[in-house]
Structure 1
């Protein structure tokens, strides 16, 4: 009798997983979870971020999709305690539940301060805050670049103070100083000012001011972002940070070349007071004129003293004029004497330069040249004979017969190697055939068919498996008896182990020849230790 089917509905794995997912999403919806970020390794290559939120007793997987990641005001960081807002769902592919985060914020000011301190140590270790890399401000900049909001009071205060102190050309790069995109806009403004050409249509500023009014730590957080700090540290233009009030400190203050307590103070730092500068220049001009007058008077007095110490020009030139007259009188006599000396030397030399001597020298030179020519011809002839003999010896060595002999020896060697290869292949095949025959004989020896050939019988139960114990059979069970020459079927009669064997009904296998009933009668098991099933 078949068992009745249960009334419990049947689900597939996918149906059950998505049903659980709908139940969890409908039961929780939008939630806010407070916990510590664990296992954060930055965004995946797809732009999504995977991590976990944990507390003292539990942990939940979390995911932030790429679109939500771009809108986050605070980026996830390992170990940061946050408050996450999102929806609870499941991931059927992994049989786990998770929270899909839409927004993320630090859990209180303490978490922000811890994050700020950790970021300050990290950037400081990279050398972004070193004083040795800070640049000096120009004394009188021609163009001043200001990065701030164009609608706030900060830009008006800066322009008013610059107009009072020293009117200068000002370029304003409008940015948001608060909100999700504040950090990216401020960093882009600093990089944009640095990218301007010095002599372009829009001149590059000589100094930059990054300014914002006061506010809470959350309001000023954009100026603590790593992208802003790195942009300020990489600026080739001297940069003044004027964020918040005098008591407000942000990370851009450490990376800037100079920190101003207020935006108005930044304007006072970058330009001097024009009236004071004019007064100072006038004072220096007066001092320079007085110094020049005194110097000229002193030099005039020194010149007068030098003139009085020198004699008259006539007395200075009279001695030199007399020496010149004496030298001119001796010059004519010296010229005549030198002419006689050179004439004598020329006469002695002309006696040695006769035509006979020159002809004899030419004849000797020509004879020597002829001897050298004959020697050269003989040397060329001898060298040609030596080269011809060497060429003849080489031509005798370069005959075709030795090459043909080497080719024949190589062919004979190749034939010998081929015959050896064939013999080795045949020996290897023979060894493998012998090993295969030995394995076949071993298999036949270990096969249970050999046991059946010695008169044993293999008893198989109704399920076709060998019966290893008499207790495994009950009266009326059908069994299969396998002999060495075939198989028959039989029925257990249930007689005791000590009694005489009862009749057994045997049915031959389909297609097997009929056998006498006595041949199908199974042998009684004498004891548990000697049962047939233990052989297998």
Structure 2
């Protein structure tokens, strides 16, 4: 026997939908029920604050932010429209615990509910520190905090750029300390140092200083100081933003980070070339003390003079020590003086002895100088001279030989005389300075020349390289081959 369904006797269980007796409620469409749920949820939960951990954070191309908030037992989808995203004070990332403020609504397309977030904040200082540690680890892994990227600060910067608030006490402290130590040219780039948009302004200021041209109307700083006074971690959060850290790391100008007090630490302290505990300390790092530098220069100048005079002083001391070891001049000359006296005495005695010997020799030879003896010697010499005969033929033959030699030299002289050809009709051409002109090209470069003939000289002017050649002399009835000996043609 077939089994009978339990609802076989129910009059409402049929193929066609029928209204029950006394039922006046029409069935709702899916859209209508979704709209009722949406209105109910939005009316009941029009303003809520939810605390949870971010998960699945995704930024759409339109600028909207889609995410999920979760805790140990539940998960809530959320959306944040573009206008609200632009007002965020931090960069949302997975794992950050936040407090989201907004309203609950439904999304009929997926039959789920979600929160439309209008404002989102980090849930407490612990969550903020966790986000800070996470951002630091990520940027450090990229090498932005590598000590090898640090650059040395300029010793004496001509221009210093300061990125800070123009109305705070920080800029006054920096200017006062610079004026005390070394007055410098300071360019202040005014920015917000906390709150919405502060990070973007600080990053734009750092990049703006780096973009200034070397020879532009605004002097390019040699050093940049990013400064702010002390505050809580929330007040200093703008200097932990990634955009600021990357701008400081990419700066082409050395940067000093002077954010907060000595115990405050921000991420730009690790990216900057030098960290200062306070803004005042940053000014002390930027420039030296002028008085100390002047004293150091004076000390170096004194040491230089001492070093220059030290060799002279040592040389004088050594000279005096060696001079004391030298013997006195009298001691050096005593032996020579005694020898000179001895030789003088010997010379005196020798001259006296020589005179005595000469007197004796003179007396010995005085008998030979008698007049008869001298006359006999003269007669003997005259006889020898008489025996010598001078023959004229030998003398005449010698004179004739010398005359022939002199005549030959005279003929050679006449042949080599440069003025000898002048008698035969030639002329000697010389320049203004007396040198002989040998070529036509040389003559063309001269303004005047001197033509020397055998009976005198004549000064003529050159026609120049562009002058026409002279006309040929007119023909005459004179027979060919015969020329007038009294006429000479033009040389040019």
Asked if TM exceeds 0.5, the reply is: yes
Match of 1:127, SS state, is coil
Query: What is the rounded CA distance, in whole Å, between the counterparts of 2:134 and 2:90 in structure 1?
Result: 14
Mapping 1:361-380, distance limit 5 Å: none
In structure 2, the gaps of 5 or more residues are 1-10, 319-492
Closer, same or farther: CA 298–45 of 1 in aligned 2, 3 Å: same
- CA drift of 1:17 comes to 1.4
* 1:367 matched residue in structure 2: none
CA distance in 2, matches of 1:253, 1:72: 23
2:60 equivalent among 36, 44, 49: 44
Partner of 1:92: 108
> Are 2:304 and 1:288 aligned?
yes
Question: How far apart in 2 are the matches of 1:241 and 1:16?
Answer: 59
**How is 1:264-275 mapped onto 2 (pairs within 5 angstroms)?**
264-275=280-291
2:174 corresponds to 1:158? yes
Name the CA distance, whole Å, in 2 between partners of 1:295 and 1:104.
78
Describe how 1:42-81 pairs up with structure 2 within 5 A.
42-81=58-97
- Partner-residue secondary structure (3-state), 1:249: coil
SS in 1 for 2:86: helix
Report whether the alignment pairs 1:220 with 2:236: yes
SS in 2 for 1:71: coil
In structure 1, the residue corresponding to 2:104 is in which secondary structure? strand
C-alpha displacement at 1:38, in angstroms?
1.1
Stretches of structure 1 lacking an aligned partner (at least 5 in a row): 303-536
Counterpart in 1 of 2:225? 209
Deviation at 1:246, TM superposition (A): 0.4
Deviations 1:289-330 (A, max 9, x none): 34334567899999xxxxxxxxxxxxxxxxxxxxxxxxxxxx
Q: Deviations over 1:257-308 (max 9, x none)?
A: 1110100000001100011111111221232234334567899999xxxxxx
Q: Computing the radius of gyration over CA atoms, which structure comes out larger, 1 or 2? A: 2
Q: 1:276 to 1:71 in 2, by over 3 A?
A: same
Higher helix share: 1
Which residue does the alignment assign to 1:34?
Answer: 51
- Give runs of aligned pairs for residues 441-480 of structure 1, distance below 5 A: none
Q: How does 1:203-352 map to 2 (within 5 A)?
A: 203-294=219-310
Q: 1:11 to 1:4 in 2, by over 3 A?
A: closer
Deviation at 1:198, TM superposition (A): 1.6
Over the aligned positions, Cα root-mean-square deviation in angstroms equals 2.2
- String of CA shifts for 1:139-166, please: whole Å, max 9, x gaps: 1100001000000000000000000000
Structure 2 CA distance for aligned equivalents of residues 9 and 109 of structure 1: 55
Match in the other structure for 2:28: 11
Q: Matches of 1:197 and 1:130 in 2, distance apart? A: 28
Report the secondary structure of 2:72's partner residue: coil
- Cα distance per residue 1:311-366 (max 9 Å; x no partner): xxxxxxxxxxxxxxxxxxxxxxxxxxxxxxxxxxxxxxxxxxxxxxxxxxxxxxxx
Distance 1:123 1:217 in 2: 19
1:119 aligns with 2:135: yes
Q: Runs in 1 of length 4+ with deviation above 6 angstroms? A: 296-302
- State the TM-score, normalized to the length of structure 2: 0.59
1:20 aligned residue (18, 22, 37) = 37
- Please state how far the C-alpha of 1:130 moved relative to its aligned partner: 0.8
1:109 paired with 2:121, answer no
How far apart, CA to CA, are the structure 2 residues paired with 1:229 and 1:4? 70
Give the distance between the partners of 2:49 and 2:19, measured in 1 at CA. Answer: 49
2-side partners of 1:294 and 1:22: how far apart? 100
Match of 1:62, SS state, is strand
Structure 1 residues 209 and 18 mapped into 2: Cα distance closer, same or farther (>3 Å)?
same
Tell me the distance in 2 between the aligned counterparts of 1:125 and 1:251: 13
Secondary structure of 1:24's match? Answer: helix
